[in-house]
Amino acid sequence: GAVVSQHPSRVICKSGTSVKIECRSLDFQATTMFWYRQFPKKSLMLMATSNEGSKATYEQGVEKDKFLINHASLTLSTLTVTSAHPEDSSFYICSAGLANNEQFFGPGTRLTVL
Amino acid sequence: EDKVVQSPLSLVVHEGDTVTLNCSYEVTNFRSLLWYKQEKKAPTFLFMLTSSGIEKKSGRLSSILDKKELSSILNITATQTGDSAIYLCALPGSSNTGKLIFGQGTTLQVKP
């Protein structure tokens, strides 16, 4: 099956620093990549949709200057949380989509901002 | 507005029981319905359904779509403690950007 990796799996950082999370589709080229955030015991909340070579489309209420997305190739997208604060602590999950709408998720990144 | 509703929101059963999880949807342009299982990490793909009435099966899990009723069910037979997870139903939204609309999820707990 399609495999999506995410790195790092866990990161702890100080308030005010920036954190970059990488998402890679390992054995396929993804039409589109998606970034989600998940709070405890809640469903996934879509943050942005990312297509290779173009600007990401952010969901309402998501600050694009705070959550920078770069989609350099059909197999790599990165999310950078800039000037992170404790309220940004969360579980961030990426997914890679195929043209038939199947989506495969990365294992997620647990971000803790102290 | 696109909408996906799952029921029940949570369920506690004992090993060996059979469970049925429900997913109802409202989308303008139906393309497919997906089921995922989420344990401690990110969701893992279970099934994608596109045609009504055709059952998809994987071991003790099976799922079927009913386009007339705008719904799908996920069945798990002979449940095991390892089936404890959140089960998510999702559909591509009407905007055709590939974006998935998720239900709230059903939290299943299987007791020994």
- Strand, coil or helix: A88: helix
- Which residues face A32 on adjacent strands? A51, A97
Residue from the list A41, A43, A93 with its beta carbon closest to the beta carbon of B42: A93
Residue A34 contacts B, CB cutoff 8 Å:
yes
Measure Cα distances from B40 to A28, A69, A105, B73, B108 in Å.
25, 25, 13, 23, 13
Q: Which site among B6, B45, B47, B107 would you substitute to test the A interface, given the most A Cβ atoms closer than 10 Å to its Cβ?
A: B45
- Which sign does the torsion angle of CA B91, B34, B85, A30 carry? negative
pLDDT tens column, A58-109: 999 999 999 999 988 889 999 999 999 999 999 999 999 887 878 899 999 9
Q: Please give the biggest Cα pair distance in chain A.
A: 41
Say which DSSP state A56 is in. P
- Describe chain A by its helix, strand, coil percentages, rounded to 5: 5, 55, 45
Given an 8 Å threshold on Cβ–Cβ distance, is B97 in contact with A49? yes
pLDDT reported for residue B40:
81
CB contact under 8 A, B92 and A101: yes
Is the separation of the CB atoms in B83 and B108 below 8 Å?
A: yes
pLDDT digits (tens, 9 = 90+) for B22-62: 999 999 889 899 999 999 888 999 999 999 999 999 999 99
Burial class of residue A85, CB neighbours in 10 A (0-12, 13-18, 19+): exposed
CB of A44 less than 8 A from some CB of B: yes
- What are the tens digits of pLDDT across the range A4-57? 999 999 999 999 999 999 999 998 888 789 999 998 878 888 999 998 888 899
In whole numbers, what is the pLDDT of chain B averaged over residues? 94
What pLDDT score does A1 carry? Answer: 64
Q: Does the structure show a pLDDT above 80 at B100?
A: yes
Report the chain A residue with the minimal C-alpha distance to residue B42. A107
Task: Give residue B95's pLDDT.
Answer: 78
- Report pLDDT for A59: 92
Q: Which of B42, B98, B104 sits opposite A97 (nearest CB)?
A: B98
Chain A residue with Cα closest to B50: A100
